[in-house]
Structure 1
Amino acid sequence: MKPQSKLWKYRDTWWGVFSDSTGTHIWRLEENRWQRSLGISSDTDVRADVLASGDLVEILLFRGVESSLIRCMQWDRDDGHTISLDHQTPVKLDEGVETATMARDDNGRLWIASDGETTIHARWIEKGADAVSGSLVLAEGVSKDDICVITSLQDGSVGVLWSNQNAQRYGFRRHVGSSNPDEWFPDEIPASASAIDHGDGMSDDHLNVAVGSDGTLYATVKTSYDTEGMPLVATLVRRPYGRWDPLYHVDDEGSRGILILDESKEIFLVVYTSYRDQSIVLKRSHTDSISFHNRVTLLKRDRINNVGATRQNVSGSFPIVATQGDSLMHTILVELK
């Protein structure tokens, strides 16, 4: 699942987009069990990214080069909750694409960021339009294994974070919504001073982000140091004024992390797979003084992997999902204390 988000909360109910043997559906969480609510595709191998805002839910159905964007509306009525398919738009991506994510700027443009064979791309849909733009290349010279993620920032801009294993660094560029779509700030090269000449370097193709109400960007990433005692699961933090903190060490073992922010408790969580323990685990840190200590096991199963959650900031309890093998999915309800 890596950078994508498949869950969202709407009026005290959790929703998700998953595929099963019959197709891809919107699901509703009821008493810790997912119930089908609306079929949106007959494809069984879709990987979705969800962007929910009010009654509008936008779902990127990632199928490689031939992907699509679905818009749904949801609302409550006297006889229950309704969710309906509103519109579908084809989205053509680049050869070699591994994943794609979405974000919206304060000008109303919907952005889609994705990778190609050796490039990082952005596309957009203007507010009120359906047509997807051509590709805008944000970075070149990355490896075919690298990916990216896009997110909205609190100043109305959007930012794209990507891995660059050839350079052994991460990259980040930002776009201001009021400017022309092809105007982006230069690469900030996050936490470049933290890079160590060891193993295959600081970068790998695992990343996931959350943004605080003050504009702080938190990202969980994976390095390629692969050495006991050195950071393998790590966190990057970009402050609202554009400065990146040094790389934070989360764990020297683990993979495929996601980051969840709870501002009501002033903490954030890094949730990831421990291949050594065959478990989904988490570590937490305070937002004002970042450090990670005790590791908590959430679920232990053979071949457990690919944890996913919401891009919304949380408060109180929330679900996460993880896959076991090719088809079995588990749901874990996390309650922060």
Structure 2
Amino acid sequence: MIDHYLYILGIAIGNVAFGVLMLPYVRSNSVTPGLTVWMWARMAFGATQLLAWLRPETGWPLLAILESAGWIAGMTLEAAAYFMFFGYARLRRYLAPVAGLSLVLACAASLNGLPHRELVVYVSLVMGMGAFTTGAILMRLRQSDTTALQRLIGVSDMGSGAAMVFWALVFLAGLPVPGWGEAMAYVAGYLLLIVNGFGFILMSKQRDDARMARLATTDDLTGLLNRRAFFERAEAARLLALRQQQPITLLMLDIDHFKQLNDRFGHATGDEALVQFATSCNAALREHDILGRLGGEEFALALPGTDLEGALHAAERLRQGVLDIRLLTCGNSYTMTVSIGAVLIDPQEELPAALARADHALYEAKGNGRNRVEAGLPGRRRA
């Protein structure tokens, strides 16, 4: 048989340990939304379980009330942590009134002499339903947003929640609770501690890692690839095109008179121009085309599977799209234009050499009046 009170003590120590171990990390780092609240939820659960362990030894009625309040507080904080993590702002509105009502009912039940075991059963029923709901939410996230880790936590939460609800319903129905049923409820509680504990930390780390990867590869202002990431992906696309014997073209794009735009209307308008330019280009490109900001008003575009004629047509579409951009910060009084140089990358040509040819074609476009597309000279083939 499982020693009930020793089990509660072990779970309590585990929850408190989770919270204590997270405290230095939370205080010294910019953490994922919800992680701080999750830490306090672990602390609340641990403190409540310590009260549950102490209560039979003291017999103090106040401890039963505090224990009931602690379960509600822990569940509320854990739900709030998940809502913050996944951005469920509308659900958070209902959390406080539901938690308040649950707290009043739990305390009233204790004050009106409801046997402690029955109170534990009701709390287990509510916690089981909450865990099952949390798991269902994790499993029902949009496919593009759902990770394998979230699905694993979702399955664990749904299974643990179902076990706790089953145990509570069997007790409330007055049926004899089999030994395996009580053991199943204990295992469910342990899984909630371990999986929810480590799971939330790992989900937070996963999100932080993804954010750091985005910061390392993405231009902050436009959301496009930065210079280093563009070169990496364009080089990978060039090598793939070489293996598949497919054409790949490279374009250099430069917003015309960008310095004058900044000087005349200010940097806010310049930033708006860069963002609008990136948005306009993205709308005209295919999913596998590679667009990056190299710096300032200079952009580069790699078009896998596209020959020079197709690249010139694509460049013309981009040029026309830029003409349609209207800048709100200068009262729509400025017409943006772009100059573009395009080259076909030779099968034996390195990316920097092709980029230099495209840059030369870009300056040809600027020298010939701007707001135009120029094709670069063919690359020199190696002997």
- Normalised TM-score (structure 2): 0.21
In terms of fraction of residues, the more helix-rich structure is 2
